[in-house]
Structure 1
Amino acid sequence: MRRRLLTVPLVALALVVLAGCSTGGPAPAISSPEASESEASGTCSYIVGGPSAREVTPPPAEPTRSGTVAATLATSAGDIPLTLDADSAPCTVGSFVGLSEQGYFTDTTCHRLTTSGIFVLQCGDPSANGRGGPGYSYADELDGSETYPAGTVAMANAGPDTNGSQFFLVYEDSELPPAYTVFGTMDAAGLAVVREIAAAGAEGGAADGPPATPVTITGVAIG
């Protein structure tokens, strides 16, 4: 199941926007109620299932980061500095850091840009088709108050508790349901880079599709 970003009425967005397959297969692994309970107790459950776009090892169940974590997406369009929030989203940050340190995101393409209705650049799939994931999934980290202003960094998903590796960068305020785990922010310089990418539009002038200016993540530095 592909993670989608559709510029349609907001009622439909709740089901299909920013969707993606956390495992790369037709039916993403979904964490069990026990997994959610374990995360509430301070540990993370990374549920292995389905193919991985690249060979990686899931992160440890015990979060290894707290507070804020600095990260920089080095891209062909310029550096995008991020501040990750490991206190509000420890399992998500743990996964992102673990994948980054294993080179999972290196030389991958940001495969999707939306320029109407919602305003995001979606990345994190080595297969560049919206179906790739790391071979594991994990639960959402939500409290129902999530909003998605410009500068937000959040996870794409294929439904509840199907997070994998795909994430999106919000470059203008976007109205989305509180269904996507927010795990960080871009700084002003990073936001400017994404806005420049967006200014060139999507391929063929579409409102939703691959960026007209190809964007490659050449590496991720964790500070």
Structure 2
Amino acid sequence: MTSTKERQRAAARARLEREMAERAARARKRRQVQAIVGAGAALLLVVAGTVWLVASLGDDDKATDTTAASGTSLCVWNEAPAEQRTPQTKDVGLPGTQQPNVGTQTMTIDTNLGPITARLNLADVPCTAASFTHLASKNFFDNTKCHRLVTEGLKVLQCGDPSATGKGYRDTDGTGGPQYRFAEENLPTDERPPYPEGVIAMANSGQPGSTGSQFFIVYGDSQLDPAYTVLGKITEGMDIVKKVGAAGHDNAFAQQAGGGHPKTETIIKKITMSEIQK
């Protein structure tokens, strides 16, 4: 028969096993609760993060919609302070900041020698085209002269200085423009040559963001650094530009950038920009 002590020890072992089993069960339950809570917290963070991300993207979309609506580009015009303007500066206000970037425009340069026209693709030059449209509407270019011709190394006729109006060009040093500047567009970095015959491009000071109103027409392939906005292609009037180039210049800019005033006086009577064609 089993002794009393053995029965007591067996009972004690049984109680201990039950207690251990209960403690293990409680521990498992705690771990399960902690895991559920942790997973819930993580899910909450994910959900919160997702909501924030969606909201942020929504805000970004709204910001984009308000700064550059569909079919437009945001153009930044950097206006020079009044104290930095020169007598060659012509203030005609600023274009709008949102400008179309879809379609084409025809630019017509009506000169004393005949019309010169160019085709502009707004997807390439939305801001430059907008600037020309604005300036032309303000009669900015009326009765100004193409003040510079280069015949060696480069073959370009340069125009667009509003101060180039006097007889013999004596009142211009080729630095005139509007009171604002803007960033370059459509740089021909992958083109060889970057500025072939028939291109119309924008002049600048050589520094980024210094494009104004001056432009040049290339009448022979020219090796220039691709740092000047390609505005478009001449579609009519290249014969006029070539005749001006063939007549030469007076070397007035020989000590500066080269070239001089064209010997054949070239006067821009007016520049007009067509309605946008889509």
Into which bin does the TM-score normalised by the smaller protein fall?
0.7 to 0.9
* Residue 84 of structure 1, CA deviation: 1.4
What is aligned with 1:48? 79
Cα deviation code 1:185-208 (max 9, x no counterpart): 111x31111001111111269771
Structure 1: runs of 5 or more not aligned:
1-37
**Greater mean deviation of Cα atoms: 138-147 or 103-112:** 138-147
Q: Is the 8 A contact 1:133 1:164 kept in 2?
A: yes
Q: Tell whether 2:263 aligns with 1:222.
A: no
Amino acid at match of 2:197: A
108, 116, 120: which is aligned to 1:72?
A: 108
Amino acid at match of 2:230: V
* Residue 78 of structure 1, CA deviation: 1.2
The number of equivalent residue pairs is 184
Counterpart secondary structure, 2:100: coil
What is aligned with 1:132? 176
Output the TM-score relative to the length of structure 2: 0.62
Amino acid at match of 2:137: E
Q: Is the 8 A contact 1:65 1:86 kept in 2?
A: yes
Q: CA separation of 1:142/1:84 partners in 2, compared to 1, >3 Å: closer, same or farther?
A: closer
* Residue 145 of structure 1, CA deviation: 2.5
Cα deviation code 1:104-159 (max 9, x no counterpart): 01111110000010100000001122111100000111452251111101110011
Amino acid at match of 1:145: D
Counterpart secondary structure, 1:208: coil
Mapping for residues 1-223 of structure 1, pairs under 5 Å: 42-49=73-80, 50-51=84-85, 53-64=89-100, 66-128=102-164, 129-143=173-187, 144-146=189-191, 147-158=194-205, 159-187=207-235, 189-203=236-250, 208-223=259-274
* Residue 53 of structure 1, CA deviation: 2.7
Identity of aligned residues (%): 41
Q: Is the 8 A contact 1:63 1:91 kept in 2?
A: yes
Q: Higher helix share goes to which structure? A: 2
Which structure has the higher relative contact order (CA within 8 Å, separation 6+)? 1
Counterpart secondary structure, 1:94: helix
Counterpart secondary structure, 2:129: helix
Counterpart secondary structure, 1:203: coil
Q: Is the 8 A contact 2:73 2:127 kept in 1?
A: no
Q: Is the 8 A contact 2:133 2:272 kept in 1?
A: no
Counterpart secondary structure, 2:176: coil
Q: RMSD over aligned Cα, in angstroms?
A: 2.1
Amino acid at match of 2:117: P
* Residue 42 of structure 1, CA deviation: 2.9
